[in-house]
Amino acid sequence: MEAAPAKAKPQGRLLVSTQLDAKDDLEEKLERCIGAVHSLINGLSEREANDALTANVCKGQQQHEEVCLGLFALLLTEPAQAQRCYRDLTLVNRDGMNVVLVKINQILMEKFLKLQDVPRKQLVWLVRELVKSGVMAADGVVMTLLKQIAGGDVSTKNLWLAESVLDILLEQKEWVLKSGMLIAMSVYTFLRLIVDHGAPNLLPLRQKEVDFCIGMLREKFLECVIIGRDLVRLLQNVARIPEMDLLWRDLLHNPQVLSPQFTGILQLLTARTSRKFLACRLTPDMETKLLFMTSRVSGDFLRPSGDFLCASALSRSLARPAQVRFGQQKRYQDWFQRQYLSMAESQSLRCDLIRYICGVVHPSNEVLSSDILPRWAIIGWLLTTCTSNVAASNAKLALFYDWLFFNPDKDSIMNIEPAILVMHHSMKPHPAITATLLDFMCRIIPHFFPPLEVQVRQGVFNSLTFIMEKRVLAHLAPLFDNPKLDRELRSMLRERFPEFCSAPSPPMEVKMEEMTCMEMEHMMDKEEGCYDNTEAAFSDDEEEVNNKGKKREFRFHPIREAVVEEPADITPWLDQLEDTMKEKVVQLQKSRSEVNPDAEVATFSRSIDHHHHSEDFDTEQMSALASCLAEIFKEHFRGDVLPEDITDESLEESVCKAVCLVFRNLVTMQEDNSGFSVLLDMLAELYQKQPKIGYHLLYYLKASKAANGKMMLYESFAQATALGDLHTCLMMDMKACQEDDVRLLCYLTPSIYSEFPDQTLRSGELLNMIVAVIDSTQLQELMCHVMMGNLVMFRKDSVLNILIQSLDWETFEQYSTWQLFLAHSIPLETIIPILQHLKYKEHPEALSCLLLQLRREKPSEEMVKMVLSRPCHSEDQFTTSLLRHWASKHDDTLAEHIKAQLIKNNNQPRKRQSLRSSSSKLAQLTLEQILEHLDNLRLSLNNTKNSFFSQTPILQALQHVQASCDEGHKMRFSDLFALAEEYEDSQAKPLKSRRKAAATSPRSRKGVAPPSNNEEESASSSASEEEDSKPKAPKRKRKCSSAVASDSD
């Protein structure tokens, strides 16, 4: 019995383990590396130890990795030696800490929960030191560390980690501000954590988080905008904190304070949140468990104890494919709930999980058609675990959040699919869940943000339409008009969504033989729950089929109402009007039913006169009158507004409708007239009932002779609306016009840009609306307007920002934007910095337009610098083709500019740097880059009569560079430098030049290239040997860029 302790497995110093756990591979490797370091430095002084380590790392890659990892492991396990180990590590590493950064990320993603207390604290200390030292790609490690801060967890360890990371960010604020992705990720993380830290003992931590988030949002709001609509969701949750309330008010009512380029909250709400933000609020362990439950993985999926396998075990296992089958998920859900959802504070974690499942977990068609646990089943279970009304409401909002501003052209069907399937499959076993979700969907429309009620309604309608279009459900009537729902809810659904509550017409019916049913025996009716496998596109996460014509037809189905055969029913609002006004409205309705335009106009004119002279006309009556007018005149808002043949007579005739009398009275009144404000208020009420009134007013102000020069009345109208903001109102009205009548949009465009330049020229939102729908003829017409001086769509101070925004648009939209830009007389130097944003595979439209324009220009120094700043790639011919063209047309000018760049970059101290640093997304011009482009140009000009490389400035510059560059560059660009040697031979004395050539010419050493490599390998103090090996530089570039890689969804 007493011998047992002697046989016990020794506990490692890095990871917590039990007697049953096998020795961890990573821990074993790090212990071997510690042993190797000890064998090198035992008994030596600090200087001798450093020399020994330096000599060892120069022997090869294996020894370099062994020493770096040994020092790294010592740093984690021996706090007393941490400072010395970190100093030695910075001195001996030869890869910019890459080996250590990779291992830190591995530990954070796979081993962090198993770390002992000392290594955990030391790991955070090491991250702090890396940040202080400005190590490249340290921002990626910080973002991985942020992911380990669990939501809904107020344990001591989690609070310590949150505060430690926050302290790093606060102490190194200047460093943080260099990385836009780190700013956005940290703001998203701590905005979410503020909700969990409301207890009295956590208020100091919460205050630090609030101060950090407010500071970043106010200083770097544009960097935070990339978060998308979930930024609004998180800010809503903390808006009652006094400091946050001020920021929230600015976001709603004064967006320009945050950033001149920020147009308003609608800009955020219409942008889908990238999956990297949704995923960052789940720890790697949570993420592994969720992915395990919703996908097919290799390996045994249970430990003997019944727990999940860890991520590394899952990835290494080669046993049979494992999956959680639908109907057998209870044991996994129970484990997950015990582990993460059992505490009262974990109520807030449900939202993170639901947003992750909707936005990140997008199964393939194979998984969807299998019996693997579907996403909707997990979400339904999460909804049932909510124990408070607030948590339940937040969870439902998280589920429907992508519905509210859903755009089929930009958003994915996979984001909205879980909500409809939860409601569909819960109808039989849990009708209460379906009822509460349907009720929430109806009530969120008017209550989410009243000024944007129209947009929310359209977003929900778009979602339901797209769900039917993609055959997620065959039709919605069995769900919306189900007898299991109470009468009040069914009535509300019929009122909100009449298009989906009736049985489908014959063209909309889906034949059952064309679809394949999912076998869900316990939860699903086969005739109602079928998927059309021919619509496979919805299951693939990034594949968005661009079928705008079809989508547009569905999107505007509610506007395309059936022909009205009976008079409008205005009874509900008539009783709210006083007798005189009620009589006028009844007469107006009667004249409409008699189809007597003259009588209609006369009656309406009398109504309007009575209305704006009434002093006791209260808000309730105004709203009732607006509802009556919207119903009576809804026919006016159908069909095209702009005449087919545009003449003075046809335009005047088009503005003679009865509804235009309101506009006419507004135009003829003086602004100090008492009836002017009353009429504006009535128009604002009418605008809420009928949003098309906005662009109809714009059309009247442009087309009517009576309104000549009165376009600014629209600004008064916009300020009177519930939106209260000219820019937001204008963008909404132009969007509505774009959806209804593209011809009218093009007709209004010159006036809108000329009358409201501050609202139109600083943002690409309106421009995108236009180029997204115009055809080639309309594009040509707009270009003619520009060249005649009738239209200005760009100006120098904002054109670069707009062109950068356009890089994410569709191909035709980008080409149209560039055509419109080129129609202006803006110097090309204004937008040449855009070259630093262009990637040859992602932005061919902008590159081709720039190439054609630059070839017409005489190269300037800035142009040449920007063109040479492009990274060299064998498939990217932009720089080479342009330089070749300039070399044939402007050879002397180009030679002078290249000479200036070569000498300037050669004189700068050369540091090891990637062409794309982690702190900047823009390329930096380096000497190596210029030489690569020149070498490509030399190869391109071979076998041609072009004498560009025989010019004195080029040869002098190459001679200057050759004299001071290292052996690696001389060998790599030997053919290029040979041109300088020939020039030198022709200028110097024969004997001297021969002696110099023999001493310095890389060509003379070509025959002994292999031995020189051996010599370089043994030289430990040469800083150039890292650049001498060509494959290393691109490798570092990929490592660096992966930390802040642009999101493809």
- Give the DSSP per-residue string, 3-60: THHHHSPPPPSSB---TTSPPPHHHHHHHHHHHHHHHHHTT--HHHHHHHHHHHHTT-
| pLDDT of 432 strictly over 50 | yes
Q: Is the dihedral of CA 227, 233, 238, 242 positive or negative?
A: positive
Q: Which amino acid is at 626?
A: A
- What DSSP designation does 976 have? H
- Where residue 677 falls among pLDDT bands split at 50, 70, 90? confident
| pLDDT of 16 strictly over 90 | no
- Where residue 515 falls among pLDDT bands split at 50, 70, 90? very low
CA atoms within 13 A on the CB side of 524: 19
CA distance 641 to 656: 11
- Where residue 127 falls among pLDDT bands split at 50, 70, 90? very high
CB contact at 8 A, 582 and 574 = yes
pLDDT digits (tens, 9 = 90+) for 25-84: 888 899 999 999 989 888 888 888 888 998 988 888 899 999 999 999 999 999 999 999
Mean pLDDT of 611-615: 50
- Provide the pLDDT for residue 440: 94
Comparing CA positions, the residue from 45, 114, 48 lying closest to residue 76 is: 114
- Where residue 646 falls among pLDDT bands split at 50, 70, 90? confident
CA distance 500 to 496: 9
Mean pLDDT of 846-867: 88
In terms of Cβ atoms closer than 10 Å to its own Cβ (0-12, 13-18, 19+), residue 520 is middle
pLDDT digits (tens, 9 = 90+) for 746-805: 999 999 899 988 888 877 888 998 999 999 899 999 999 999 999 999 988 888 888 988
CA distance 973 to 987: 22
> Which residues, 6 or more positions from 393, have their beta carbon under 8 angstroms from its beta carbon?
440
pLDDT digits (tens, 9 = 90+) for 190-234: 999 999 999 999 999 999 999 999 999 999 999 999 999 999 999
Give strand pairing partners of 321. Answer: 298
In terms of Cβ atoms closer than 10 Å to its own Cβ (0-12, 13-18, 19+), residue 304 is exposed
Q: Which amino acid is at 225?
A: V
- Provide the pLDDT for residue 452: 93
Residue appearing with tokens 């930096």:
924
pLDDT digits (tens, 9 = 90+) for 272-297: 999 999 999 999 999 999 988 887 65
- Where residue 657 falls among pLDDT bands split at 50, 70, 90? confident
| pLDDT of 617 strictly over 90 | no
Share of the chain above pLDDT 70, in %: 76
CA terminus-to-terminus distance, the chain: 61
| pLDDT of 1018 strictly over 50 | no
| pLDDT of 920 strictly over 60 | no
Q: Which amino acid is at 188?
A: Y
Q: φ, ψ for residue 670 (rounded to 5)?
A: -85, 150
- Provide the pLDDT for residue 909: 56
Which tokens hold the place of 104?
């830190």
Which stretches of 863-930 are assigned E, i.e. beta strand? none
- Provide the pLDDT for residue 474: 82
Number of other CB atoms surrounding residue 476 within 10 Å = 23
pLDDT digits (tens, 9 = 90+) for 400-410: 999 999 999 88
CB contact at 8 A, 792 and 757 = yes
Q: Which amino acid is at 56?
A: N
Q: Which amino acid is at 363?
A: P
Which tokens hold the place of 498?
């009449």
pLDDT digits (tens, 9 = 90+) for 244-257: 999 999 999 999 99
CA distance 727 to 1010: 67
CB contact at 8 A, 14 and 73 = yes
Most confident of 433-437, 641-645, 754-758: 433-437
Most confident of 126-130, 855-859, 929-933: 126-130
CA distance 277 to 416: 18
CA distance 1024 to 442: 67
CA distance 496 to 64: 68
- Provide the H-helix boundaries in 448-578: 453-469, 477-480, 487-496, 498-501, 548-555, 571-574
CA distance 253 to 171: 33
- Provide the pLDDT for residue 591: 60
- Where residue 435 falls among pLDDT bands split at 50, 70, 90? very high
CB contact at 8 A, 770 and 749 = yes
Comparing CA positions, the residue from 1010, 1006, 896 lying closest to residue 954 is: 896
Q: How far from 1015 is each of 376, 1000, 1005, 1007, 1018, CA to CA, in Å? A: 64, 17, 13, 15, 5
User: What is the SS3 assignment for 450-464?
Assistant: HHHHHHHHHHHHHHH
Share of the chain above pLDDT 90, in %: 33
- Where residue 1 falls among pLDDT bands split at 50, 70, 90? very low
| pLDDT of 656 strictly over 60 | yes
What value does the mean pLDDT of the chain take?
A: 78
Most confident of 30-34, 543-547, 954-958: 30-34
Which tokens hold the place of 54?
């330096």
CA distance 138 to 127: 8
Mean pLDDT of 395-402: 95
CA atoms within 13 A on the CB side of 818: 22
Mean pLDDT of 593-605: 48
Compute, in degrees rounded to 10, the torsion defined by CA atoms 790, 796, 801, 806.
40
- Provide the pLDDT for residue 368: 82
- Provide the pLDDT for residue 477: 87
Comparing CA positions, the residue from 133, 163, 130, 127 lying closest to residue 145 is: 127
Do you know the residue count of the chain? Answer: 1049
CA distance 866 to 859: 11
- Where residue 997 falls among pLDDT bands split at 50, 70, 90? very low
Taking the model in full, what pTM does it have? Answer: 0.52
> Which residues, 6 or more positions from 300, have their beta carbon under 8 angstroms from its beta carbon?
309, 317, 319, 320, 322
Compute, in degrees rounded to 10, the torsion defined by CA atoms 874, 878, 880, 886.
180
Q: What 3-state DSSP class applies to 410?
A: coil
Comparing CA positions, the residue from 352, 403, 343, 406 lying closest to residue 379 is: 352
CA atoms within 13 A on the CB side of 951: 20
- What long-range pairs does 160-168 form, CB within 8 A, spacing at least 24? 161/124, 162/190, 162/193, 162/205, 162/209, 163/205, 163/208, 164/124, 164/128, 165/124, 166/190, 166/205, 166/208, 166/209, 166/212, 168/124, 168/127, 168/128, 168/131, 168/142
CB contact at 8 A, 93 and 100 = yes
Inter-helix orientation angle 138-147/98-106, to 10°: 10
Q: Which residue has the higher pLDDT, 94 or 919?
A: 94
Q: Is the dihedral of CA 218, 224, 228, 234 positive or negative?
A: negative
CA distance 453 to 568: 23
Continuous segment of H or E residues that includes residue 530: strand 530-531
